[in-house]
Structure 1
Amino acid sequence: MDNRPWLLQYPKEIPAELEYEPKPVHAYLTESARIYANKSALHFMGKELTYKEVYQSSLKLARYLNTIGIKKGDRVAIMLPNCPQAVIAFYGVLYAGAVAVQTNPLYTERELEYQLADSEAKAIISLDILFPRISKIRKNTDLEHIIVTAIKDYLPFPKNVAYPFIQKKQSGIVVSVKHEGNHHLFKSIMSGTSPAAWEDPAFNFEEDLAILQYTGGTTGMPKGVMLTHKNLIANASMCDAWMYKAEKGKEIVLAMLPFFHVYGMTTVLILSVMQGYKMILLPKFDAETTLKTIQKERPTVFPGAPTIYIGLLNHPKINKYDLSSIDSCISGSAPLPVEVQHRFEEVTGGKLVEGYGLSESSPVTHGNFIWENRVSGSIGVPWPDTDAAIFSLETGEPLPPNEVGELAVKGPQVMKGYWKRPEETDAVLKDGWLLTGDLGYMDEDGYFYIVDRKKDIIIAGGYNIYPREVEEVLYEHPGVQEAVVAGIPDPYRGETVKAYVVLKDDASITEEDLNAFTRQYLAAYKVPRVYEFRKELPKTAVGKILRRSLVEEERKKLQNEEIIG
């Protein structure tokens, strides 16, 4: 107990230790389809699917994947927004014995090619409008099959008829793919395949991978985090224990967090299926659409990110909507401002608390209590079965309360390692401890606080952005001599991306030029929002650019503006 003072804070309803039944993630869909066969599992723009329908559709996809050669351990990429196909695809891939590689639909060709090549994915399940992008980079990957679906496939009438016209008007893209050869139509698979019972006698709860979740770092390219079935089941079970007032089979979850992000996958997708909840699927965030959906569909659980809650609170008509159905919200992906927490609770009457995690821990390790004592500014306490400690950066030894060091965590949700990167795995996994790279401290009561990031990761709007990746694109511009990227404070996104650029002597480049260039190679949320041209950048004696000094300049500038204001 001396090493785990947080356990004294636990309410009697939350156990310090949990038991995990050694079965795969998809076994919970089998179970929910048996218990809640005719209960609505998904709601998507007016369309409802029952648990039985989701289960049978997943088995159809699994059987088809096996038929085209996908076998146990093969990687299958899923490049979809939150829609029924994303749920069916995830469980179908797992039923087939394969490993899901969640891929952001916003990825450019460059980003997509890297992830598919690194994961050695043999198949991808994607939207029709993304088919041209995949086709262009396919030859540089191990892709053998492309399975294509369309949003209209799961829309009710007359939305399914109108949607193609809306899509053409918005994107200008019209794609026609035939169900032949190595190109497959999701709709044809569903209509022409019989579901088959799932069997996997060789299943290993602790070792078998369920997903490769790509993350990144400031040194090197994105890495595939190997998460096992045990990792994901453990974290979803911890979340269930934390939300002990939630009723099995009765909650309605607003599923806006993208499933291609591990936070949305674990705390929304996997937990909902495990507990028989109904998911209201929203493929993207739009404040007014979200407010209307809450009023009409009456969700009780609303996991999100600070930018989502801020966006709703800033909507001029928020007081015209009835948001009283919301009971509990866990915010993640970025620090939650205290004033946002208080305002959102006043508007909804529900509880909003901050949690903490990272892809390498499936993702959640800490959280504030939803219905008990909460500490403003704290990430809360470790979840059940989770150890946490602050290690000295100098000695590597555990530090006493209130001393700042590196946060480390240990528990059944911690990853198996990085895909094909043993050296980088060894650098962050030490005797079972995961070194998070975040600097923080623990108080005497066991509450943890993050004070800074050891890594230079930028978190903008809940998305992780890695400076090195953006910098490499900037360096490819023929007029750029030096470039460094950093996160600067932003009232809405939390942080935003700023690029500091030194141009070559003969170059004449504007901010608009660089913006157009970077948008060719980076997803929109990674593109710098601010550019600053300089004659030189601050460096160490050996020539390393001092990113942190630039960040400090921005902080001082902001403080001066506040004082003057």
Structure 2
Amino acid sequence: MDATSQSREHLRPWIASYPEGIDWQAQIDTTPVHEQVLAACARNPSAVALDFLGGTTTFGELARKIVAFAGALQSEFGVTKGSRVALMLPNTPFYPIAYYGVLRAGGTIVNCNPLYTVPELSHITANAGADILITLDLQQIFEKGEALLAAGNVKSLIVCHFPDALPFPKKVLFSLFKRKDLAHPSRSPHAGKISAFGDLIARNRTPSAVVIDADKDIAVQQYTGGTTGIPKGALLTHANIAANMSQIDKWGCGLFYPPSKVVAVLPFFHIFAMTVCMNVPLCNGTQVVMLPRFELKALLDLLTRTRANVLPAVPTLLNAIARADTAKPEHLESLEVAISGGAALPDEVRNAFAKKSKAILAEGYGLTEASPVVCCAALRVASKPMSIGLPLPGTDIRFVDVDSHEVVGIGENGELQVKGKQVMAGYYKNPEATEEAFADGWLRTGDVGHVDEDGYVFLVDRIKDLIICSGFNVYPRTIEEALMTHEAVEETNVIGVPDEYRGEAPVAFVKLREGQSVSETDLKHFLAEKLNKIEMPKEIIFKDALPKTLIGKLSKKELREEYAQKKAGKP
């Protein structure tokens, strides 16, 4: 090994800790995802690609519909390279068909959460310049699409008929007993601008070839959550998306190949699910079993019926499984790996889940701007507890002092910064935000943590969530971890609030487990042995439910607003 290689090894301590068979310097595949999925369909057309509530779609069917939809988009809507097409769909077979069809036609995906309000959807579609919106004829969702059409935010709607996704006899039963839940697009005053998804596919148009420059052409314009302001459109190239898939694939050591089955209960419109629950398995010819939304009984029934072995999840979902008396070990016996992402995984949730399931519970970390995965615990062998694991193949990280901006050493806390082929091209039409997102070519994550001598990464908190209390740094996650060790606490979220004496002070919001009770005084007494005086919450507020983002991540935004209104004397 030459001096240069030795120097690089020193800068990448994680390489020595890599599980056997994984090479950090392995070649990263950047073949566009739609090309990969169509190749997978051609390899085994009779295998099942999608399972939706018991109804199945083979890889052959999937390919036929992707190609037909791409042909319709080109010939009837003029979709070409650079066209923005918005998807507002829950997890159904329509989503992957539409997603890959748009990419095959040369367009760019703009994901829209069906639970967003019309003003939020108006901002995204207008900012992106999306002329077409693909959605469902379920009344609650269709009404939003119709409002966007009426306001001129989009020019055309393509509407999927929800019963078409259902297997017999569920399709018949839905049509009989749930008809009131369906909209009637043909009766809309804007019917002339509305097309039926099924009709477009039935025309079986052949799309023309589109030459993709993977490094430059944008596959997905993914809008950030907007918890701290107006959502920004992260520009993810075809190479960004494909690179992260390749990195995850190598990290999985065959996990995402048949006969595996991957559970998609997290919504595809979220970047984590789009990559880990859909793109990676389908491009490897692996079955994806879907739920349109999270319901514990439905998830347990799905696991029992399908014997799925891979469960990407968020901590609140894992907590729901771990705490529910109805979730028995036999429901989870098929699980080999659960991958936690989207938020920090509390140690108490990890321990509680381990009592229900023998599956490896691997915590990962990523962000929209990195397509999204940066680090992950090993998926086949045990990893260091409380760590988000190691950087994926081809991914470089460093930690930089928040104040001095100097690179810090092993074990020292700083802002995590990332380099790799999965890192976005920038934000759409927002050069100021793009410049702010990078430091010397490194993506700034806004997360504080450190790397240990073995290369394992540990996060402490978000920079924006850091509480400066009497001049000392207080991390909400430290307080949350301490609270979660109390047997009565089911969920907790800690924010910083203005304080005349200390500048800022922590306030904890707590949801108790059903049938449990504890007073604020007793809880503070419990915390006294776990936290220092500066970290002790100024106030503990008990709530029946804690606000969550639309993928189930605990949200601080609403709590800050609620506390501010309370202090201002507003109801």
Same fold per TM (> 0.5)? Answer: yes
- CA 1:293/1:28 → structure 2, altered by over 3 Å: closer, same or farther? same
Deviations along 1:318-369, whole A, 9 cap, x unmatched?
Answer: 2274321111121100111223223323423211110111100011101111
> 1:41 is paired with a residue of what secondary structure?
strand
* Letter of the structure 1 residue corresponding to residue 196 of structure 2: L
CA contact (8 A) 2:262 2:309 kept: yes
> 2:244 is paired with a residue of what secondary structure?
helix
Is 2:356 aligned against 1:361? Answer: no
- 1:525, CA displacement in angstroms? 8.8
- CA 1:198/1:381 → structure 2, altered by over 3 Å: closer, same or farther? farther
- CA 1:112/1:488 → structure 2, altered by over 3 Å: closer, same or farther? farther
User: What corresponds to 1:336 in structure 2?
Assistant: 345
Paired residues, number: 485
In structure 2, C-alpha distance between the alignment counterparts of 1:167 and 1:106, rounded to whole Å: 20
- CA 1:64/1:214 → structure 2, altered by over 3 Å: closer, same or farther? same
Alignment of 1:48-63 (within 5 A): 48-63=56-71
Deviations along 1:20-55, whole A, 9 cap, x unmatched?
Answer: 344211001111111111100001112110001011
- CA 1:392/1:525 → structure 2, altered by over 3 Å: closer, same or farther? closer
- CA 1:524/1:331 → structure 2, altered by over 3 Å: closer, same or farther? closer
- CA 1:491/1:403 → structure 2, altered by over 3 Å: closer, same or farther? farther
- CA 1:378/1:491 → structure 2, altered by over 3 Å: closer, same or farther? farther
User: What corresponds to 2:50 in structure 1?
Assistant: 42
- 1:147, CA displacement in angstroms? 0.4
- 1:383, CA displacement in angstroms? 0.8
- CA 1:426/1:528 → structure 2, altered by over 3 Å: closer, same or farther? closer
- CA 1:211/1:314 → structure 2, altered by over 3 Å: closer, same or farther? same
CA contact (8 A) 2:342 2:553 kept: no
Alignment of 1:392-541 (within 5 A): 392-456=401-465, 489-490=509-510, 528=558, 531-532=562-563, 533-534=565-566
- 1:82, CA displacement in angstroms? 0.5
> 1:310 is paired with a residue of what secondary structure?
helix
Is 2:167 aligned against 1:156? Answer: yes
- 1:219, CA displacement in angstroms? 5.4
- 1:119, CA displacement in angstroms? 0.6
User: What corresponds to 1:474 in structure 2?
Assistant: none
Under a length normalisation based on structure 2, what TM-score does the superposition of the two structures give?
0.79
In structure 2, C-alpha distance between the alignment counterparts of 1:429 and 1:329, rounded to whole Å: 32
User: What corresponds to 1:183 in structure 2?
Assistant: 194
Alignment of 1:103-502 (within 5 A): 103-128=112-137, 129=139, 130-168=141-179, 174-177=183-186, 181-191=192-202, 193-196=203-206, 199-201=209-211, 203-217=212-226, 220-246=229-255, 248-319=257-328, 321-456=330-465, 489-490=509-510
> 2:87 is paired with a residue of what secondary structure?
strand
In structure 1, runs of 5+ residues without a counterpart are 468-483, 494-514, 538-565
CA contact (8 A) 2:369 2:424 kept: yes
CA contact (8 A) 1:354 1:368 kept: yes
In structure 2, C-alpha distance between the alignment counterparts of 1:254 and 1:313, rounded to whole Å: 17
> 1:212 is paired with a residue of what secondary structure?
strand
- 1:446, CA displacement in angstroms? 1.3
* Letter of the structure 2 residue corresponding to residue 187 of structure 1: G
> 1:259 is paired with a residue of what secondary structure?
coil
Alignment match of 2:74 (pick from 53, 66, 69): 66
User: What corresponds to 1:77 in structure 2?
Assistant: 86
CA contact (8 A) 1:256 1:282 kept: yes
- CA 1:194/1:309 → structure 2, altered by over 3 Å: closer, same or farther? same
- CA 1:18/1:55 → structure 2, altered by over 3 Å: closer, same or farther? same
> 1:181 is paired with a residue of what secondary structure?
helix
CA contact (8 A) 2:257 2:281 kept: no
- 1:133, CA displacement in angstroms? 1.7
User: What corresponds to 1:557 in structure 2?
Assistant: none
Moved more, 417-426 or 18-27: 18-27
In structure 1, C-alpha distance between the alignment counterparts of 2:200 and 2:510, rounded to whole Å: 45
User: What corresponds to 1:549 in structure 2?
Assistant: none
> 2:363 is paired with a residue of what secondary structure?
strand
In structure 2, C-alpha distance between the alignment counterparts of 1:174 and 1:142, rounded to whole Å: 20
In structure 2, C-alpha distance between the alignment counterparts of 1:153 and 1:51, rounded to whole Å: 18
- 1:432, CA displacement in angstroms? 2.2
Deviations along 1:509-561, whole A, 9 cap, x unmatched?
Answer: xxxxxx9xx9xxxx999794793454559xxxxxxxxxxxxxxxxxxxxxxxx
Is 2:15 aligned against 1:4? Answer: no
Deviations along 1:434-487, whole A, 9 cap, x unmatched?
Answer: 000111112222111111211249999xxxx9x9xxxxxxxxxxxxxxxx9x99
In structure 2, C-alpha distance between the alignment counterparts of 1:535 and 1:318, rounded to whole Å: 40
In structure 2, C-alpha distance between the alignment counterparts of 1:421 and 1:456, rounded to whole Å: 24
In structure 2, C-alpha distance between the alignment counterparts of 1:12 and 1:81, rounded to whole Å: 38
- CA 1:450/1:341 → structure 2, altered by over 3 Å: closer, same or farther? same
- 1:385, CA displacement in angstroms? 0.5
- CA 1:148/1:247 → structure 2, altered by over 3 Å: closer, same or farther? closer
- Identity of matched residues, %: 35
In structure 1, C-alpha distance between the alignment counterparts of 2:208 and 2:12, rounded to whole Å: 41
> 1:280 is paired with a residue of what secondary structure?
strand
- 1:165, CA displacement in angstroms? 4.8
- CA 1:198/1:5 → structure 2, altered by over 3 Å: closer, same or farther? farther
CA contact (8 A) 1:408 1:436 kept: yes
CA contact (8 A) 1:215 1:359 kept: yes
CA contact (8 A) 1:367 1:383 kept: yes
> 1:231 is paired with a residue of what secondary structure?
helix
Deviations along 1:144-195, whole A, 9 cap, x unmatched?
Answer: 21001132111112211222455456x5x6434369632101121222x115
* Letter of the structure 1 residue corresponding to residue 172 of structure 2: V
CA contact (8 A) 2:149 2:156 kept: no
- CA 1:92/1:369 → structure 2, altered by over 3 Å: closer, same or farther? same
CA contact (8 A) 2:148 2:154 kept: no
Under a length normalisation based on structure 1, what TM-score does the superposition of the two structures give?
0.80
In structure 1, C-alpha distance between the alignment counterparts of 2:349 and 2:248, rounded to whole Å: 22
- 1:250, CA displacement in angstroms? 1.9
* Letter of the structure 1 residue corresponding to residue 199 of structure 2: S
In structure 2, C-alpha distance between the alignment counterparts of 1:399 and 1:434, rounded to whole Å: 16
